[in-house]
Amino acid sequence: MARIPYFKAGLKNNEKCIWITSQPLNSNDAYKALSNDIPALNKYFENKQIEIIEANQWYFNNKKLKPVDEILQNWISWEQEALNKGFKGFKGLRITKNTHWLEEKNRDEFDEYKSTANSSVHDYNIIALCSFSFEKCTPSDIADIVSSHQCTFIKKNNKIRRIESGEYKRAETILLKGYKDLENKINQRTAELLKSLEEKEILLREIHHRVKNNMQMISSLISLHSSKIEEESSVKVLEECQSRIKSMAFVHEELYRSDNFATLNLSEYISNLGNLILKSYTSNPGKIKLDLDINNVVLDIDTSVACGLILNELITNSSKYAFPGEEKGNIKISVIVNDNNANLIVSDNGIGFAGSFDFNNCKTPGLRLVKMLTTQLDGSLEFNNGKGTYYKIEFPLKRTAI
């Protein structure tokens, strides 16, 4: 019986299944046929995932065929119930019904119902298997059945033959052509976008490269002019400017090497920047150790530049003043991300500032720049001066569009 595998597949897909029976098969016969092939049938009945309903109950009211709209509304109500019960998987309704009950007097009303159902069922998660009595159908009826159903099986003399509806076949051909046209358009547009993206990546890489080169040129010009200046204080100012320019140039150098031009991974950048500053201010390579605690933290360009300038000032201060003479020590840099905030922590175990040092009213250009950059990041700055210096800059992370 074709309906058994039809329902087994529906139950396996977690669909709501309804079998509408009529003579010569009644509801008891349908139940026995199902129970022979579906061991856990009672469980499905208890969960109301499968139900058997007599055709008289489904189609008739007081022996009169129900209005077309009422029958269709029953379909829709059952489908909504299936969805509301949350059956997992396909989430829909599977129905089978036959027309052995159909009398000639009901033919016109039933044709109206069938036509309306065929045009409406596509709007819902419903699949229906309909059976018609071959002996009761005229050639015109058979032609109508074939044209109005997606697929028809005719059983005669114990042989089954499949007939595909010409209308559905034409629709399938049109849809397939439309799908191929859409796929070609998508592939063409994808190729155009990839080419455009590649061109933009090349342009951005070139921009970062040129910015880095321009900053290096500015740094070289400063170095050239400082060599001609004898006043020590002026030379010192120029060297500090040169150091800041190098820290910004490093950002563009890292972005030039990166595959992502919108963000920067801090770990390698801070390591390179820190080692460059230590080489600039200490002749003994082993005097100051750089201790980094940075996970895979990624920041946007603007935030990276600001953090680079802050680090440049704080590492420079520790390198120059925290470890006088041959005294050795550590500079520790940590970047910790919590939810939507980042914490940049820079500390050393050097001699610290003098006891009379007032951080809040400090007038030195470097620390004033640190405070300005912290404000630019919409962040807060915490400072401690005890066994060495400790700076904690907390700021919100920006969401970068990818």
Range with lowest mean pLDDT among 151-155, 294-298, 376-380: 151-155
Measured distance CA(169)–CA(172) in Å, rounded = 5
Q: How far is CA 252 from CA 241, 323, 349, 396, in A?
A: 17, 31, 31, 22
**183 within a domain of the structure (yes/no):** no
Reduced to 3 states, what is the DSSP secondary structure of residue 16? strand
Work out the pLDDT band at 46, boundaries 50, 70, 90. Answer: confident
Q: Which of 131, 164, 193 is the last residue of a domain?
A: 131
Work out the pLDDT band at 102, boundaries 50, 70, 90. Answer: low
**51 within a domain of the structure (yes/no):** yes
Average pLDDT on 31-49 reads 85
Q: Which of 131, 160, 181 is the last residue of a domain?
A: 131
Q: Quick: pLDDT tens for 265-276.
A: 778 778 888 888
**Contacting residues for 197 by C-beta, under 8 A, at least 6 apart:** none
Q: How far is CA 55 from CA 58, 135, 192, 296, 333, in A?
A: 5, 19, 58, 67, 79
Range with lowest mean pLDDT among 24-38, 254-268, 373-387: 254-268
pTM (whole model) above 0.75: no
Q: What is the pLDDT of residue 294?
A: 85
DSSP one-letter code for 103:
-
On the question of pLDDT at 374 being above 50, the answer is yes
**317 within a domain of the structure (yes/no):** yes
CATH number of the domain that residue 374 is part of = 3.30.565.10
CB 167 within 8 Å of CB 147: yes
**203 within a domain of the structure (yes/no):** no
Block residue for tokens 């002996």: 135
Side-chain-facing half-sphere of 14: CA atoms under 13 Å: 8
**17 within a domain of the structure (yes/no):** yes
CB 18 within 8 Å of CB 93: yes
Q: Provide the number of structural domains found in the chain.
A: 2
Work out the pLDDT band at 401, boundaries 50, 70, 90. Answer: very low
**160 within a domain of the structure (yes/no):** no
Structure tokens that stand for 204 in this block:
């951005």
Measured distance CA(287)–CA(327) in Å, rounded = 7
Q: Counting runs of H as helices and runs of E as strands, what totals does the chain give?
A: 12, 15
Q: Which of 105, 131, 157 is the last residue of a domain?
A: 131
Q: Quick: pLDDT tens for 211-227.
A: 666 666 776 777 766 77
**402 within a domain of the structure (yes/no):** yes
- Provide the Cα torsion 88, 91, 96, 97; round to 10°: 130
**321 within a domain of the structure (yes/no):** yes
Reduced to 3 states, what is the DSSP secondary structure of residue 1? coil
What domain range includes position 395? Answer: 266-402
Block residue for tokens 């856990």: 40
